[in-house]
Structure 1
């Protein structure tokens, strides 16, 4: 499959471009970015071509991978779907619910495949754990902590304007929700939300499966306290999300596998644009509650 990359930032350079170059089922055709000089540099590093015109790239490929801020991603995803391109998207799907709905509608109308890359869902150990827990019932409660040190440590994402604006809720919130929703069921409501230090937020979700979950999300944790953890408690006891040292590139290679399978078979992947939209809806509800002080 001929694929292009939209985006030239650190995530595009360290994750997307290496995965697209390495996957045996892809031809990495080229890169487009909002900064032409950055596109040239990234293309040179990864042995491909830089495009000045995004529509020219869309015309030359069958699929695109997107590594751009959520608002920009949503706009270009609609454009790419209408051009007949399958979509390998990043989280969050969009910055607003209407943007997310537009992506889902464009995917449906064009009949293209979509996969939203949620790292934990495509790492081998954690993916197997989520699948195993999803097959069980009787969960009573869950606790998730996704604590990053993006704004307190030496992170290449510290200067990201959208992360500065949207904070941990929108950056690491999708990761936590991507684990909890398939195991506990959809979130019927955000029962509580409270602001914490820096961009830290605390959420409590009521799930369709009858369980509740408590989430703590932050990008301003002390570096020594950073990390992710999920604990489930229920009829079968207590289980923890396994730790993994697997980096983003192997996980992205499996996400590409999922996109190729969905394009070939026509069956939506569990992490498709519709799932990305549902996560966006939950995040928007939590954001509204934080804004209203409820």
Structure 2
């Protein structure tokens, strides 16, 4: 399959581009970016060619992988779907409910395949954990914590990301938390009942009630002290306590290659659970959390 890459930032350079270039069932058809010079540099590194025009790249490929901020990604993905291209999307697919639903409509109308790259759902240990917990019944509660210090002096390559600073950890790592809890505990039963609270920095904690009857809490932050950083997901119920195996994200190319495999299978008629519809539901839930947060004063304190 010929796949074009949209985006030239750290995620495209560290993960999407190298994984696509190395995949045995993929031809990396080219690169497009908002900065042509960055697209040319990345294309040279990956052994492909840069495209100055999105439509020119769409003409040369069967699918696109997108490594762009969510609200840049969404309209470009709509455009690609309209051109009949399959989609390998990043999370969140959009930060507005309207943008997410427009993308779902475009994918449905075009009949193209879609996979959203929720990293842990394509990482062997965590993905296996989700499947095992789905097979068990009687879960009462869940808890997920995605807490990092990348805005508090960490050396992450994503610390300078404008959209992450603008929307915070809720939108960046909240999707990871939901991708672990929703398949096990069920969909959120009532968006109007979602409740969130803001903490220091970009910290947000929220409470969900699921269709299974279980409740869960999710904590997200990119501004905790380094000693307090943690990635955790667990569920509790009749089977006891089950915790997601430790994940450190040291090799992002391998799970992305698994996501590429999932897209190839989806094109052949085997849809993946992490498709654009699931991505849109995640956007709806996070938007409900954001809407439930108390208003902040000009100093950033809760009113």
Q: TM-score range by the shorter chain?
A: over 0.9
Q: Distance in 2 between matches of 1:135 and 1:47?
A: 44
SS at match of 2:160: coil
**2:260 counterpart of 1:256:** yes
User: Cα gap change, 1:83/1:291 in structure 2, threshold over 3 Å: closer, same or farther?
Assistant: farther
Q: How does 1:215-230 map to 2 (within 5 A)?
A: 215-230=218-233
Q: Distance in 2 between matches of 1:179 and 1:230?
A: 7
Q: Deviations over 1:237-287 (max 9, x none)?
A: 01100013452110000000000000012x421000000000000000001
Aligned counterpart, 1:162: 163
Query: What is the CA distance between 1:80 and its match in structure 2?
Result: 0.3
Aligned counterpart, 2:121: 121
Q: Distance in 2 between matches of 1:291 and 1:24?
A: 50
Aligned counterpart, 2:298: none
SS at match of 1:205: strand
User: Cα gap change, 1:48/1:291 in structure 2, threshold over 3 Å: closer, same or farther?
Assistant: farther
Query: What is the CA distance between 1:10 and its match in structure 2?
Result: 0.3
Q: TM-score w.r.t. structure 1 length? A: 0.97
Q: Distance in 1 between matches of 2:213 and 2:229?
A: 30
Q: Deviations over 1:206-253 (max 9, x none)?
A: 000110001110011222322200121100101100013452110000
**2:255 counterpart of 1:244:** no
Q: How does 1:42-57 map to 2 (within 5 A)?
A: 42-57=42-57
> Equivalent of 2:202, from 195, 199, 203?
199
Aligned counterpart, 1:286: 289
SS at match of 2:260: helix
Aligned counterpart, 2:211: 208
Structure 1 unaligned residues grouped into runs of 5+: none
Query: What is the CA distance between 1:291 and its match in structure 2?
Result: 4.7
Q: Distance in 2 between matches of 1:277 and 1:244?
A: 25
Q: Distance in 1 between matches of 2:160 and 2:145?
A: 23
* 2:198–2:294 contact (8 Å) kept in structure 1: no
Aligned counterpart, 2:76: 76
Q: TM-score w.r.t. structure 2 length? A: 0.94
Query: What is the CA distance between 1:203 and its match in structure 2?
Result: 0.4
Query: What is the CA distance between 1:29 and its match in structure 2?
Result: 1.1
Q: Distance in 2 between matches of 1:27 and 1:70?
A: 25
Query: Across the two proteins, how many residue pairs are aligned to each other?
Result: 293
Q: How does 1:126-165 map to 2 (within 5 A)?
A: 126-152=126-152, 153-165=154-166
Q: Distance in 2 between matches of 1:291 and 1:282?
A: 17
Q: Deviations over 1:151-197 (max 9, x none)?
A: 11112111211111110110000000000000000012354211111
Aligned counterpart, 1:175: 176
Query: What is the CA distance between 1:54 and its match in structure 2?
Result: 0.6
Q: Distance in 2 between matches of 1:232 and 1:175?
A: 15
Q: Distance in 2 between matches of 1:5 and 1:191?
A: 36
Query: What is the CA distance between 1:46 and its match in structure 2?
Result: 1.2
* 2:19–2:257 contact (8 Å) kept in structure 1: yes
